Chains A and B, each alone.
Chain A
Amino acid sequence: MNRDLHEIWVYLAASPLLGLTVTLIAYQAGYWLYRKSGHNPLVNPVLIAVVALVALLKLTDVDYLTYFEGAQFVHFLLGPATVALAIPLFQQLRQLRESMLAILVSVVAGSLMAAGSAVGIAWVLGASRETLLSLAPKSVTTPIAMGIAEKIGGLPSLTAVLVILTGMTGAMFTTYMLNLLGITDWRARGLAIGVASHGIGTARAILVHPLAGAFAGLAMGLNGIATALLLPLLATWFGS
């Protein structure tokens, strides 16, 4: 009996089916908790799913690459989903046209604040040079952030992790920060979460308000472009 179970386990652990299924289950469990909490931003479904899956993989001694064999099917959809962000953007075409200049100025300001404050704070606290350079693009969507990190001398893989952590931080705390400041304009709220916490923030904005979702998606894209252009310049100016 035990032997049979072991054989089933060996078979399943090697097939993509298991990684894919547990990803969907973990996320839906996280989402269920999020709904049960009355949509409390601190009960973030991505964070719950990630913690549950990391714990599961550690307990069953399955490595990340084996897990990713299955999870890659979900991961792959990030590409077409990013393209699909053009739709909410187009739906808000009028709003977009009206405030294009304000959007551009705010995104550039946010981009500089994101990189500058991250590097500044970590530097004061004594982070190594490599960590500083890996932190700089943390608010930008993963593929752009990794490219920037590589260019300025950070560790792209460390950056990828910092980007995800930044996204979850933003998705969890934005509501409180913006309510504290008394910002009620959905365009400003969406733009802020998109600039600070890219796709994970945008995913949350889409769930909350269509106007905020569109502005978040736009902010994510524009911030990626702005940071990719500005950060390598700044890095060379400030030198080693």
Chain B
Amino acid sequence: MLGAITWLLACQLAGEVITMTTGLPLPGPVVGMALLFAGLLIRQRIQAGGGRPDIPEDLERTATGLLSHLSLLFVPAGVGVMLYLPLIAEEWLPISVSLVASTLLTIAFTALVMSWLVRKKGDDDGGEAGGPDGI
């Protein structure tokens, strides 16, 4: 676990350094995610295993553990909403209507485009229906 955490932090650190030195308009952790992904790809190439994606067990377990509580990590920033309530209250109608309507439109539009594109390609690999428990 310690090794895996070190890898995650090292990727984030490298990502931060890259964004700062290149002026890339991306946050360090997103670049870190790309670096880790690239690292796993290279590792797979070297081992020439092919077939199933192979991830170090320790890294897989730690990442899965961290991500299973991803929602929790947004709470501190979410509480920050309290600082801006007066600002939002001033224009609450356009803000709330636009937020909700635009989010729903984006979800519908993206999902329709994506499902149309994959269906057009004729591969039907997306798994079965999302019932009431679906996302």
Contacts from A to B (Cβ < 8 Å): 23-24, 26-27, 31, 39, 41, 45-47, 49-50, 53-54, 57-58, 64, 67-68, 71-72, 74-75, 77-95, 98-99, 101-103, 105-107, 109-110, 113-114, 117-119, 121-122, 125-128, 131, 135, 138-139, 141-144, 147-148, 151, 155, 157-158, 160-162, 164-170, 173-175, 177-179, 181, 183-193, 195-197, 199-209, 211-213, 216-217, 219, 221, 224-225, 228-229
Contact = CB atoms under 8 A, between A and B. Distances in A.
Given A105-B113, A106-B117, A110-B113, A184 B84 contact: no
Given A106-B113, A114-B102, A183-B111, A46 B78 contact: yes
B135 A208 contact: yes
Interface centre among A103, A165, A188, A225 (most CB of B within 10 A): A188
Contact of B25 (A26, A83, A202, A228): A228
Contacts of A184: 126-130
B60 to A, nearest CB: 6
A49 B75 CA distance: 7
Contacts of A221: 30, 33-34
B127 A186 contact: yes
Nearest to B129: A184
A87 B63 contact: yes
Contact of A196 (B55, B59, B60, B107): B107
Contacts of B132: 175, 179
B118 A80 contact: no
- Main DSSP-derived SS at the A contact region: helix
B45 interface: no
Given A102-B118, A183-B115, A208-B134, A64 B8 contact: no
Interface string B94-115: 1101111111111111111111
A91 B55 contact: yes
Contacts of A99: 117-118, 121, 123
A-B pairs with the 7 shortest C-beta distances? A185-B126, A110-B110, A71-B76, A143-B27, A125-B94, A82-B29, A102-B117
What interface size band does chain B fall in?
A: 35 or more
B37 to A, nearest CB: 4
A46 B112 CA distance: 27
B70 to A, nearest CB: 4
A139 B103 contact: yes
A192 B107 CA distance: 5
B108 A83 contact: no
Contacts of A113: 102, 105-106, 109-110
Given A75-B77, A195-B106, A185 B63 contact: no
Given A80-B12, A87-B64, A192-B110, A74 B75 contact: yes
Interface centre among B34, B94, B101 (most CB of A within 10 A): B94
B48 interface: no
Contact of A161 (B62, B88, B97): B88
Contacts of A148: 25
Interface string B4-47: 01001101100100000000011111101111110011000000
Contacts of A164: 74, 77-78, 80-81
Contacts of B2: none
Contact of B62 (A46, A84, A147): A84
Given A122-B98, A173-B103, A178-B135, A83 B29 contact: yes
